[in-house]
Amino acid sequence: MERKTIYNPDSKESLNDRRIFGGNSDGMINFTKMKYQWALNLWDTMEANTWFPKEVQMTGDAKDYKFLTPAEKRMYDLVLSQLIFMDSLQTNNLMDNINPYITAPEVNACLSRQSYEEANHSKSYAVMVESISDNTDQIYNMWKNDAKLREKNNYIADVYKSLTAGDDGEISDTKIVLALFANQILEGLYFYAGFAAMYALGKSGKMLGSSQMIRFIQRDEVTHLLLFQNMINSVRKERPELFTPELEETVRGMFRKAVALEASWGSYITQGQILGFTDKIIEQYIQYLADKRLEAVGYKPEYNVKHPIPWVDGYASFNDQRTNFFEGNVVNYSKGSIDFDDF
């Protein structure tokens, strides 16, 4: 499959014929006529959730950071450095590797909005770094010196690279589907050990500005997760022949590797020195999330475990919304009222 044509005046494609990929739309983004209503719902929620990093008060964090224990400070720095990498990667990945092959204009719009939000997260990390350190390069360059951090970054980047088009610009249908799953995994698993670590500091009354920033970021990541899950489920309906037992086993292998990598990362950043986080709890937490992600796209759970740290759900929530971040149901966001229960 080749990259889509951004302007296709000769298209005769009807709304019923529109496809997530492999379609032939004229390229016009018309929010009054669309096939995928969930895309409009997501757009409205993303728009309603607009926020700006400089709105978050970070003065207290500058003071708190000086009094963190060495283990807490190490954890904070590593988490921040890794989050910086993932949002930088995702900003470019969406525009370079995903959006060019998506042929539903309303979904193209959502991916463009997501790319903006990923860049906005990068700005938020800059605000966080500048609030705690005069030497910003120390955190931005950690990946160059920390082998574990680099290992995780390299693996995620290598998976994305393996699922991109060849030198001729073409990509197989199966690769596109696997790329959608890879993005679901990034949005639904790879952030969460770091998020939970930040919330652990906040729960103990430390780095409250950073915890609030992460709440805003996680709220965005929920819509990004929903976007890819809905794309996967729509493709399953349109192209059921692609969802073979072989594909499922490949996807499960991707999830198993992701769980192992994220659990190992969580263990590495906490080192058994953060209250409430043992290696077993971290592993079970990531397994729990993986099961939820698999169930959301029509697969049976892999691990069948319970949520080991349910307090994280409550800590991540905003007071003026009802949210289950981990099951992907988002109701009544702070600036809008959108019901996603039909997803």
Between CA 20 and CA 9 the distance in angstroms is: 19
Q: Residue 84 domain-assigned?
A: yes
Q: Residue 312 domain-assigned?
A: yes
Q: How confident is the model at residue 318 (pLDDT cuts 50, 70, 90)?
A: confident
Range of the domain at 304: 37-331
Q: Residue 62 domain-assigned?
A: yes
Count: domains in the chain: 1
Mean pLDDT of 24-35: 94
Q: Residue 343 domain-assigned?
A: no
Q: Residue 24 domain-assigned?
A: no
Q: How confident is the model at residue 335 (pLDDT cuts 50, 70, 90)?
A: very low
Q: Residue 47 domain-assigned?
A: yes
| 3-state SS, one letter per residue, for the chain | CCCCCCCCCCCCCCCCCCCCECCCCCCCCCCCCCCCHHHHHHHHHHHHCCCCHHHCCCHHHHHHHHCCCHHHHHHHHHHHHHHHHHHHHHHHHHHHHHHHHECCHHHHHHHHHHHHHHHHHHHHHHHHHHHHCCCCHHHHCHHHHCHHHHHHHHHHHHHHHHCCCCCCCCCCHHHHHHHHHHHHHHHHHHCHHHHHHHHHHHHCCCCHHHHHHHHHHHHHHHHHHHHHHHHHHHHHHHCHHHCCHHHHHHHHHHHHHHHHHHHHHHHHHHCCCCCCCCHHHHHHHHHHHHHHHHHHCCCCCCCCCCCCCCHHHHHHCCCCCEEECCCCEEECCCCCCCECCCC
Between CA 276 and CA 8 the distance in angstroms is: 56
Q: Residue 233 domain-assigned?
A: yes
Q: Residue 6 domain-assigned?
A: no
pLDDT tens for residues 153-210?
Answer: 999 999 999 999 887 778 999 999 999 999 999 999 999 999 999 999 999 999 999 9
| CATH value at residue 143 | 1.10.620.20
Mean pLDDT of 278-295: 97
Mean pLDDT of 292-304: 98
The predicted pLDDT at position 337 comes to 36
Q: Which of 36, 65, 101, 125 is catalytic?
A: 125
pLDDT tens for residues 301-317?
Answer: 999 999 999 999 888 88
Mean pLDDT rounded to a whole number for the chain: 91
Residue 343 has pLDDT above 70, yes or no: no
Residue 328 has pLDDT above 50, yes or no: no
125 part of the active site = yes
Q: How confident is the model at residue 1 (pLDDT cuts 50, 70, 90)?
A: confident
Residue 325 has pLDDT above 70, yes or no: no
Structure tokens at 231: 């794309």
